[in-house]
């Protein structure tokens, strides 16, 4: 898809439908039946399925997947435009079959799974008959997988897994866990004996694996290939987080602007005060820059791969956390005391910003990655002075003009005049 700062009319109609559908159908579901998408109650499941069927009728189910895997094959750019809407509504990603951590896990299965593994786990995940979690981070090792200790030992026709994982999102409600070990990626059913999910934290779970036995065919991809699979998975996840973050930022910005036109202070609406105007202007520019960066990166992925786009993905990752923090704080500040309560989404949004700076690798690691990759495109200068050292460039320019000066003494005279003029100014 060629993208020139506009969206083709056919897909824009899809986006318009998504906007109305989420506002009229998905948002009410969020408020009446929180966490409905993971409910086991048959009546609530029926409500969710009814909405998912409407999404499928629109050809928007599992939009991130290629056609042969059950998706429409739209690619990352169109996914970005869609996620700008979905990210505003908690239930929307799952209503559209495009929720983390399932999306990343599905991509791993699609890329590395055997036919049997795809049949057993991928198709049920696509259909949301089951849910998954990604169990990677460890208490002593987050962004440095070289410090991981969780290991699988082969014992006859089984693998025996021992280790401790931290910050496993949705581990408590998942049916299967994708466990990153020092020697491979393994699919572990949550109910397997030896899987102990600690009481706290409630959302991002602490899990201990004690002599957890799984069959040999539960190894995903090659033995000792966990790091390759993890990078494949996390690269896509990072850009998807950024897409949904744009939606959050736009929500906060809308609340900010609405409030700025609704409250009065010192005889005028607060939107007329310059300090408030500054926050609005800064937020507007930050969101626009993030959005264009994310969409350009998505376009690059569609035209190459996540591996070839890893520098931009890393830069997007740490930028989104910064923008979310700044915009949500500005909105919270403009709403005043109301913004500090749980009566609006702002407090939760602002509290989530540090998490976005940690999840999928801390921002500091990504900044180092970007810097290293960027520096590969440059060379050190020779001698004491940098390439843009003005005296050296001036001397080189005079040498280049010598043939012209010899052919035209008048031109030399003009140049000497300019030289004398600027020398006097510097003096």
Closest CA to 135 of 84, 43, 209: 209
In 232-284, which ranges are E strands?
A: 264-265, 268-269
Q: What is the DSSP-derived secondary structure letter of residue 358?
A: T
CA dihedral 26, 292, 316, 359 (to 10 degrees): -10
pLDDT class for 142, splitting at 50, 70, 90?
confident
Nearest one of 377, 228, 374, 246 to 315, comparing CA atoms:
374
- 141: pLDDT confidence band, cut at 50, 70 and 90? confident
pLDDT attached to residue 2 = 58
For the stretch 388-416, pLDDT in tens is: 999 999 999 999 999 999 999 999 999 99
What pLDDT was estimated at residue 427? Answer: 58
Q: In whole angstroms, what is the distance from residue 206 CA to residue 195 CA? A: 11
Mean pLDDT of 122-139: 93
Signed CA dihedral, 420, 421, 422, 426: sign only: positive
Give the pLDDT confidence score for residue 57 in this predicted structure. 95
Q: Does residue 160 contact residue 211 with C-beta atoms inside 8 Å?
A: yes
- In the chain, the percentage of residues whose pLDDT exceeds 70 is 98
Q: Using CA atoms, how far apart are residues 9 and 209, in angstroms rounded to an integer?
A: 51
What distance in Å separates the CA atoms of residue 12 and residue 78, rounded to the nearest whole number?
Answer: 10
SS3 state at 161: strand
Asked if residue 3 has pLDDT above 70, the reply is no
| Cβ 181 vs Cβ 225: under 8 Å | no
Rounded Cα distance, 287 and 293, in Å: 10
Instruction: Give the residue-averaged pLDDT of 125-149.
Output: 89
Instruction: Say if CB 348 and CB 340 are below 8 A apart.
Output: no
Q: What is the pLDDT of residue 198?
A: 96
Average pLDDT over residues 2-30: 91
Q: Which domains does the chain have, with CATH numbers?
A: 9-99 (1.10.540.10), 132-224 (2.40.110.10), 227-375 (1.20.140.10), 390-426 (no CATH)
Confidence of residue 83 (pLDDT cuts 50, 70, 90): very high
pLDDT at 100: 85
Tokens read off for 48: 């969710």
- 195-197 vs 158-169, strand pairing mode: unpaired
Kindly report the average pLDDT of the chain as a whole number. Answer: 92
Peptide linkage before 101 cis (omega within 30 of 0): yes
What integer pLDDT is reported at residue 333 of this predicted model? 95
Question: CA 109, CA 104: separation in Å to the nearest integer?
Answer: 9
pTM to 2 decimals?
A: 0.89
Q: Is the pLDDT of residue 425 over 90?
A: no
Using the structure block, give the residue that is written with the tokens 């995940």. Answer: 125
Which residues fall within 8 angstroms of residue 93, CB to CB, at 6 or more apart? 83, 86, 87, 99, 100, 244
Name the band, by pLDDT with cuts 50, 70 and 90, for residue 104. confident
Q: How far apart are CA 271 and CA 373, in angstroms?
A: 43
- pLDDT, tens digit, 9 for 90 and up, residues 176-232: 999 999 999 999 999 999 999 999 998 889 999 999 999 999 999 999 998 888 877
pLDDT at 176: 98
Q: What pLDDT is attached to residue 412? A: 93
Q: 43-57, 219-233, 285-299: which range is least confident on average?
A: 219-233
């Amino acid at each position: 898809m060629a993208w020139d700062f506009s969206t083709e009319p056919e897909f824009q109609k899809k986006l318009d439908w998504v906007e109305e559908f989420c506002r009229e159908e998905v948002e009410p579901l969020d408020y009446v039946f929180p966490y409905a998408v993971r409910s086991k109650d048959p009546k609530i499941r029926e409500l969710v399925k009814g909405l998912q069927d409407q999404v499928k009728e629109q050809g928007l189910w599992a939009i991130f997947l290629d056609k042969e895997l059950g998706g429409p094959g739209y690619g990352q750019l169109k996914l970005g435009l869609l996620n700008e809407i979905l990210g505003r509504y908690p239930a929307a990603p799952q209503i559209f079959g495009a929720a983390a951590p399932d999306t990343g896990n599905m991509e791993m299965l699609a890329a590395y799974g055997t036919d049997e593994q795809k049949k057993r786990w991928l198709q049920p995940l696509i259909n949301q008959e089951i849910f998954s979690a990604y169990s990677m981070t460890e208490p002593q090792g987050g962004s440095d997988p070289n410090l991981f200790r969780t290991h699988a030992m082969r014992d006859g026709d089984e693998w025996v897994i021992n280790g401790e994982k931290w910050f496993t999102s949705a581990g408590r409600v998942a049916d299967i866990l994708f466990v990153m070990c020092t020697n491979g990626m393994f699919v572990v059913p949550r109910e397997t004996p030896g899987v102990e999910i600690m009481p706290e934290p409630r959302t991002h779970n602490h899990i201990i694996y004690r002599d957890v036995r799984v069959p040999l065919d539960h190894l995903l991809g090659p033995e000792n290939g966990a790091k390759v699979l993890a990078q494949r998975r996390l690269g896509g996840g990072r850009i998807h987080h950024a897409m949904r973050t744009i939606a959050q930022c736009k929500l906060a910005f809308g609340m900010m602007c609405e409030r700025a036109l609704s409250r009065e202070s010192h005889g005028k609406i607060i939107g007329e005060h310059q300090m408030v105007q500054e926050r609005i202007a800064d937020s507007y520019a930050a969101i626009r820059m993030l959005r264009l960066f994310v969409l350009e990166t998505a376009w690059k992925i569609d035209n190459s791969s996540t591996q070839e786009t890893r520098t931009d993905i890393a830069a997007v990752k740490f930028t989104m956390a910064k923008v979310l923090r700044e915009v949500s704080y500005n909105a919270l500040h403009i709403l005043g005391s109301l913004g500090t309560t749980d009566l609006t989404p702002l407090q939760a949004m602002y509290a989530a910003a540090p998490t976005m700076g940690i999840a999928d690798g801390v921002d500091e690691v990504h900044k180092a990655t970007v810097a290293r990759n960027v520096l590969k495109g440059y060379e050190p200068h020779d001698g004491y002075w940098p390439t843009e050292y003005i005296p050296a460039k001036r001397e080189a320019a005079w040498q280049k003009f010598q043939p012209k000066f010899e052919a035209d003494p008048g031109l030399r005279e003009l140049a000497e005049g300019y030289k004398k003029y600027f020398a006097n100014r510097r003096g």
